[in-house]
Structure 1
């Protein structure tokens, strides 16, 4: 643990370092300061430690002035010979308030509080990560295409709802969408692009040639070597079978 100590009394500093060595031998004291200005300068130039011990009453003023100049994000343990600062200490990110002379038992209790804080923070961060992932997924779902603008003769476009599309496929080198009426609409986008644009809960990339909607599926037939053939509920017959490879069959079953 990287510790920064702000203390202007040499005897108190020696005492704190000795008790730290006893209570937390793995602690590394990465810096020391005995004034407000020196503390600000050290924090600005050395980055944030993992814990700060801060004497409140310094020779050049109250240590609380440090917070007017720099933000301290790590936990803080305040030390002082006076108890009138307690309320103000807990308005910043203090985990404890130790009255001088500090003893080993008080310091052990302070580290126990720190351990509890860190463990709770870890769980909180995990929950925060989960929430952020959910938000990202929800935002992504909101951004999936719901309509396309299809050019028609002249200078017009007509909207085509994604909900009305049964499948996309490549025919004669061109990507086409087939709607519920069996009408085919040419697309300039590739199947790869369309796969990224559409909600994967609704459309499945069967193979390099077909991107199909769940509601278009009439039934599924077993094919050779563990492959599947998808039969669609459409008003015309396709030239090519929609074959899902053995490697992709499990993924399709899970999706469906």
Structure 2
């Protein structure tokens, strides 16, 4: 088997090379490429490579940019340092991956998998790459970090990380900080939900958007509902509907 490594970290490339040779001494490492540009130049020409190990982030950009410039019909194993949330999306897109730092046992399994299956089944097809590119763009989206709020005769910048939750009270949206100060927010709750990092903030019900760091505990309620207790305590009970219970628990369990 002939392999190409696309990796910009020298130590990571050396470690991967060492492990590959340790697992199967007959595997030939054709080259190590450390940038999008070098990869595009290399794959623009005929290659004997049968398998590619490719890091997500390279010296000059994201590796998926390679596929926008060249057609690559070679099985690919992506290496990534992404968290488990991202890894789940990799699985959904049916693209193999190795979580960095690369583990010898998992690497061996990946190599054996590609030895035993049809090459066409594991090629980096357009839909898979597009799905992962959309994932990266979502993860790198800029979320709101500050709200400028009115307070008496002045405007105060309040960091979103200092806000425990947002809620609607008699048609007015308010944000409550962790030190239990309340401020009017001149926005709709729907707009606030869309401009906050979904890993940190979640729409619990129609009245509340909650910071995960504000969640004290969740208690079981009747008919499959939940009660969420937050710090500082909310003025009204935060009820999670049965339909939304699993979603909220999955968010907190990320």
TM-score (norm 1): 0.49
Structure number with larger C-alpha Rg: 1
User: Could you tell me the TM-score, scaled by structure 2's length?
Assistant: 0.49
